[in-house]
Amino acid sequence: MTAPTAQPASRHRVVAAVREFVEREVKPVAPDLDHADAYPHALVERMRELGLFGALVPVEHGGLGLAVSDYARVIEELCRGWMSLAGVINSHTMMALIAQRHGTDEQRARWLPRMARGELRGGLALTEPHAGSDVQAIRTVAQRDGDHYLISGSKMFITNGREGNALALLARTDPAASPPHRGMSCFIVEKGGPGWQVLTSIAKLGYKGVDTVELLFDRFAAPAVSLVGGVEGRGFQHVMSGLETGRINIAARSVGVAQAVLEEVDRHEGSRRSPAREAMRARVEAARALVYWAGAMKDRAERCDLEAGMAKLYASETAQAVATDAIRLLGPRSQRLDGTLERHYRDTPLMIIGEGANEIQRTLIARQLVDRHGERPGALTSREGEPEERRQLVLAVRQFVDKEIAPAAQEHEGQHDGRDALPAELIERLGELGVFGALLPAPVGGLDLDLVTAAMIVEEVARGWGALGWALARHLAVSGAIAEAPGPAVARLLPALARAEILGAPAPLGRAAIAPGRPALLAVAEEGVPASSISSSGASCRLVRSDDPRVRLAAEPPALGLRALARVAVSIDQSTGAAVAVAARIHDVATLGEAAVAVGIAQAAFEAALRYSQQRSTFGKPICQHQAIQLKLADMASGIAAARLLVGAAAAAPGEGAAARARQLAAETAAAVTLEAMRVHGGYGYTREFPVERHYRDAAALLAEASADAPA
């Protein structure tokens, strides 16, 4: 196996080479190295040969020149084999990034080629015994003495501090500066000479093999040319500029470890699907999507401190949760030291703590949510990076939702007069926008949109009114599926479906939820088709109109959520309507649509909580400034973003069970977020005056549907 060549476009080759390295060389030796807590000299040398120490170093300086999102893929692959290896690489990469972004031309030419080759190898020296997340509390000082700086102080939890030969070190060159960060400078210091002492290697729960040490500097003489950028007082900004990449790295590590957990469970349990395993897989897939979303923003040079923090928070908590769930699934087998699961369980807490403890991370995320979005709707749904036509269409629907749908929903469902039905005029106005024909071809009046855009539209509509979003999602499932079915009888239905003169509604088990007062085109499973076969390729259903006298509808009792819809039991003669083999397609698109509805409901509840937290004051300040509320807002936002990305991924690349996993995660997210939104609102959230109680009820309906369709 040879090292990949230094071409920015060779990411697939780099990732493939790392995967092969992990399978052939890392996995066989990782257990022994981990239990012996032995530094992996041979593996580190192989990573050097693969060029990984120059992963983000530009090609012109001898590096691979990878994008941040591709670097995240490399880190994920390494962590599938042994998370400790990512620590060796990442700390070094953060040092290289500081040199690359903030060094002088002479410094870049001197440092970067050696860093890319792994000759100059090290990490970051920021943390001190009394200064962790609060970097401005450091006490290490660097005093100018001729053509040197004399560095004195101690550094804690330093990766590569013993085996490496260089560090990006933050010190105070002006101890009297106020605020303190204005007096901080960053140095790339190399080992050699007196005054640099490794005090001790720190024994750890996990993260074995990689050296983590406490360092003492006692008037260590660093050449003045080691001052990054050649100007004092800029070091704090230098090290902070790398935090976005650092947090994306931690998130990618988390995904890699979580994926390794899934693979270990698969090795023990085989291919048997279960709700618990599908839930684990959904969380890991969502975490991965969140990581690469943040990485793509970084690649586009967009501000992504909020998104990188959310990726780190969600992915690290996911890794911990998945490792814990795996222990529950495997029982005593999970504890055996000749397996890998116990190592993953020991490794996962590091990601919760590293690059800013998650409790601090949640506080930062909440503050950024308030600062960026305030009380405006649409937080975290800007759709930046989407094709312009898609973005403009989705934003147009959002404006309609905020202006007409959300107020109508609160008027109809927030009152006590029982006017819970979907207003016909609202459906007609939405139909004028063309969204009911989203998946239909243009010749019949449709928009001919892709499934990704349709899912975004459904989410936006559900953000205004869950019941209307549900009706739209089910309609799109039926209309989009039958548009692919041959025959004039079906073709005649399409223009009416595009204009919403008739609304499609699946009735796979003889039950449907329809808009009262409007004809429905029911897709009823043919008699004798078991529930387990409805999603099978080739399964048929019969298309019948609800106003056909041969169709019998029996009203079912009102339900807790989605109250504006009428629930009916459907019975037909099997000769009624047209038989079409599209039941599987309807099922898949409806499942995806339900996931999008759940995300929309969660988004609406989150926006209400974010807005209320700024309006409501307690103990003399808005409650959004109280840490307890900040922790909730951060978890809500991160969970919604992950669910949204998982829905988008399932729409873009439907795979076996992808839509079902997206729906399950989105429904659980909606249930959790709506409850947290109620907590934020307090007693007001329990009243019909505020929409939160409606979102809470609607989320229950989504959760019930997802659970009913889960694998046994």
Give the span between the Cα atoms of 453 and 652, in whole angstroms.
9
Residue 2 binned pLDDT confidence (cut-offs 50, 70, 90) = very low
For residue 3, the model assigns a pLDDT of 44
- Grouping H, G, I as helix, E, B as strand and the rest as coil, residue 81 is helix
For residue 539, the model assigns a pLDDT of 79
Cβ atoms 333, 339 nearer than 8 A:
yes
Task: Render pLDDT for 277-311 as a digit per residue (tens, 0 to 9).
Answer: 999 999 999 999 999 999 999 999 888 999 999 99
- Grouping H, G, I as helix, E, B as strand and the rest as coil, residue 541 is strand
**Residue 582, C-beta contacts closer than 8 angstroms, at least 6 positions apart:** 481, 482, 484, 485, 523, 540, 541
Tell me if residue 355 is catalytic.
Answer: yes
DSSP 25: I
Cβ atoms 461, 468 nearer than 8 A:
yes
Burial of residue 319 (CB within 10 Å: 0-12, 13-18, 19+) is buried
Residue 380 binned pLDDT confidence (cut-offs 50, 70, 90) = confident
Ordered by where they begin, the domains of the chain are 11-119 (1.10.540.10), 123-240 (2.40.110.10), 243-356 (1.20.140.10), 419-622+644-712 (1.20.140.10)
Which of 73-77, 269-273, 524-528, 622-626 is predicted least confidently?
524-528
Question: Which residues are 555's β-sheet partners?
Answer: 568
Residue with tokens 């501000």: 303
For residue 503, the model assigns a pLDDT of 96
Token pair in block for residue 486: 């041959």
Label the pairing between strands 511-514 and 566-571: antiparallel
Token pair in block for residue 587: 């099922």
Give the span between the Cα atoms of 107 and 679, in whole angstroms.
53
Average pLDDT value for residue range 547-566: 92
Give the span between the Cα atoms of 553 and 571, in whole angstroms.
7
Cβ atoms 502, 520 nearer than 8 A:
yes
More confident residue, 273 or 199: 199
HSE, CB side, 13 Å, CA atoms: give it for residue 374: 2
Task: Render pLDDT for 439-478 as a digit per residue (tens, 0 to 9).
Answer: 999 999 999 999 999 999 999 999 999 999 999 999 999 9
Token pair in block for residue 185: 């400078």
Which of 416-425, 535-544, 612-621 is predicted least confidently?
416-425
pLDDT at 222 over 60: yes
Average pLDDT value for residue range 216-236: 97
Residue with tokens 């041969």: 550
For residue 418, the model assigns a pLDDT of 47
**Residue 315, C-beta contacts closer than 8 angstroms, at least 6 positions apart:** 250, 251, 252, 254, 255, 258, 287, 288, 290, 291, 351
pLDDT at 166 over 70: yes
**Residue 702, C-beta contacts closer than 8 angstroms, at least 6 positions apart:** 466, 561, 594, 597, 598, 601, 663, 666, 667, 670, 671
Give the span between the Cα atoms of 596 and 381, in whole angstroms.
13
Give the span between the Cα atoms of 351 and 252, in whole angstroms.
10
Residues in the chain: 712
pLDDT at 29 over 80: yes
For 504-529, b/e burial (b = at least 16 CB within 10 A) is: bbbbbeeebbbbeebebbbbbbeeeb
pLDDT at 7 over 90: no
Residue 121 binned pLDDT confidence (cut-offs 50, 70, 90) = very high
* Global confidence as pTM: 0.93
Give the span between the Cα atoms of 660 and 706, in whole angstroms.
8
Residue 696: which of 590, 608, 591 has the closest Cα? 608
503 φ/ψ angles, rounded to the nearest 5 degrees: -105, 130
Task: Render pLDDT for 629-659 as a digit per residue (tens, 0 to 9).
Answer: 999 999 999 999 999 999 999 999 887 889 9
End-to-end alpha carbon distance in the chain: 44
Give the span between the Cα atoms of 272 and 711, in whole angstroms.
10
Give the span between the Cα atoms of 292 and 70, in whole angstroms.
9
% residues pLDDT > 70 (the chain):
95
| CA 446 to chain CA centroid, nearest Å | 32
Residue 419 binned pLDDT confidence (cut-offs 50, 70, 90) = low
DSSP 303: -
**Residue 239, C-beta contacts closer than 8 angstroms, at least 6 positions apart:** 98, 124, 126, 135, 168, 170, 186
Give the span between the Cα atoms of 470 and 595, in whole angstroms.
10
Give the span between the Cα atoms of 284 and 271, in whole angstroms.
17
| Averaged confidence pLDDT in the chain | 91
DSSP 526: P
Label the pairing between strands 122-125 and 166-172: parallel
Give the span between the Cα atoms of 353 and 167, in whole angstroms.
21
For residue 537, the model assigns a pLDDT of 59
Residue 354: which of 320, 325, 312 has the closest Cα? 312
Of 128, 190, 355, 460, which one is the catalytic site residue? 355
Residue 598 binned pLDDT confidence (cut-offs 50, 70, 90) = very high
Give the span between the Cα atoms of 410 and 134, in whole angstroms.
44
Token pair in block for residue 633: 């807002």
pLDDT at 109 over 60: yes
Give the span between the Cα atoms of 311 and 291, in whole angstroms.
5
Give the span between the Cα atoms of 644 and 589, in whole angstroms.
16
For residue 575, the model assigns a pLDDT of 76
Average pLDDT value for residue range 483-509: 89
Average pLDDT value for residue range 219-224: 97
Give the span between the Cα atoms of 449 and 328, in whole angstroms.
43
Helix axes 68-81 and 83-102, enclosed angle (nearest 10) = 160
DSSP string covering 469-501 = HHHHHHHHHHHHHHTTS-SHHHHTTHHHHHTTS
pLDDT at 529 over 80: no
Average pLDDT value for residue range 596-616: 96
- Grouping H, G, I as helix, E, B as strand and the rest as coil, residue 210 is coil
Cβ atoms 668, 642 nearer than 8 A:
no
pLDDT at 574 over 80: no
